[in-house]
Structures are given as structure tokens and as C-alpha cells.
Amino acid sequence: MLKIAVLVSGGGTNLQALIDAQSGGKLCGGEIALVVASNGSAYALERAKKAGIPTEVMLRRSFSSQADYDAALIGLLEKNGIGLIVLAGFMTIISAQVVSRFRNRIINIHPSLIPSFCGEGYYGLRVHEEALKRGVRVTGATVHFVNEVCDGGPIILQKAVDVLPGDTPRSLQERVMKQAEWKLLPEAVALFCENRLRVEDGRVTIKEVQS
């Protein structure tokens, strides 16, 4: 079994989508073994507890330097035998040290069609505010591997979502979550667990299943 750690900071609806996929038998070969929260009040922690998944809270401010924090995070993940890390709304910076230790084994979900509305400062409602400001007709979500560039890693899956007249950042955020994020993330994790993702020259290929 591939052990999966899900890193969270907020409501945890994407974590819930993963928990539901697991109980529906869709994460063949993988198991959510640990949920790590960047703060103790993340509702995601309740979701994990309800599902019987072990949790840890790691506050960045409890560590005097980024290097100390990184070492503790890597230690925690290694101690638990984690083979895949999923960032599901995790608001603490993942440093180059962690990225290189888990190269092509960290997945992130971003609520836009990368390379639009992404990078430094593009998180939460801001992403949808900027999409509405620009007047795009279509937005969506992207699941990608994490590298040293913010939202710049190899793209695994994307799904488009319509922007509708009268949309507010909140209504758009909700539609992107429902129509794209909650489907894409479990799908990408399942592909990883089935060992069907290959990264070459910064691009991902998805292996077809032999029939």
C-alpha cells in the first residue's frame, strides 16, 4: 500500500473528496495514512478524525527557522513511511528541501487553469477575483506536481469550468470546487497510486491501462 499524507489548512473539502474516493474503493493501491494541518483550528482535522485518520498539527511559528521546520516535516513524513504528499489547500510554504526529498511525489491542486491566475499571491478567493476582473469565459482547476516554482510544476490534470453572468468570486469558487477540484484531485491521486504517471522534460504522460 502506498501511504498518502494530505496537508491542509482550512475547510478540507478536497480532503473529504479524497476520503470519499478511498471509501468508494477508488484509491486502489493507496491509503490516506496521515493528515497534517498547519493550524489547530482547521476543520479538515475534524474530517480526518471522523474518518479515523491520524492527524498532526505543525505550526510554522513553533520552529525558529525554515530549515528546522523542513527537517521536522520531512522527519514526520519519513517516520510514517509516506510515499505521496497531497497539498489540499495547505498554506505553509513547501521549501526546496522538501521538494527535492519528495521529487515528483508532491501533488497540489490549484483553482485555475494554470498558467492563468497562478503563482505568488494567487490563492483562495483572489484567484477567482482576478479571473472575473479579466473577464475570462472559462476557468477551472489544475492538479500538478510541485517543484521549486510556485504553481510551476508538471501538470497532471486540468478541467475547465464556465464563468457565468452574475458570478461573484464566491459563486465561482464554489462551482470550480464542485465541478472540477473534487473530481480532479481523487482522479490524479488514483493515477499516481496505480503508478500511471511519468514525468519527462517537465511534462506528465499518463500510461493507458492494458485491456
- Hey, what's the cell of 171? 459563486
Residue 144 designated active-site: no
Q: Is 98 left (phi over 0), alpha (psi -120 to 50) or beta?
A: alpha
Dihedral sign for Cα 80, 194, 104, 11, please: negative
Nearer to ligand GRF, 71 or 174 (CB): 174
In angstroms, the CA 202 to CA 207 distance is 16
> Smallest gap, in angstroms, from Cβ of residue 73 to ligand GRF?
18
The full DSSP string for 19-47 is HHHHHTT-STTEEEEEEEESSTT-THHHH
* Binds ligand GRF by CB under 6 A, chosen from 98, 107, 111, 184: 111
Site membership for ligand GRF, residue 169 (CB under 6 A)? no
Tell me the window of 9-17, 132-140, 163-171, 187-195 that interacts with ligand GRF (CB under 6 A): 9-17
Tell me the window of 3-11, 18-26, 57-65, 145-153 that interacts with ligand GRF (CB under 6 A): 3-11
Tell me the window of 28-36, 56-64, 104-112, 154-162 that interacts with ligand GRF (CB under 6 A): 104-112
Name the 3-class secondary structure at 143.
Answer: strand
Nearer to ligand GRF, 75 or 124 (CB): 124
**Catalytic option among 110, 128, 144, 175:** 110
- Site residues (CB under 6 A) for ligand GRF, limited to 63-92: 88-89
> Smallest gap, in angstroms, from Cβ of residue 130 to ligand GRF?
14
Site membership for ligand GRF, residue 186 (CB under 6 A)? no
In angstroms, the CA 22 to CA 207 distance is 21
Tell me the window of 7-15, 57-65, 76-84, 94-102 that interacts with ligand GRF (CB under 6 A): 7-15
115-120 long-range Cβ contacts below 8 angstroms, 24+ apart: 115/151, 118/142, 118/150, 118/151, 119/150, 119/151, 119/152, 120/150
Q: Residue 138's beta-bridge partner residues?
A: 162
Residue nearest to ligand GRF (CB): 89
Residue with cell 501511504: 3
> Smallest gap, in angstroms, from Cβ of residue 41 to ligand GRF?
13
Site membership for ligand GRF, residue 10 (CB under 6 A)? yes
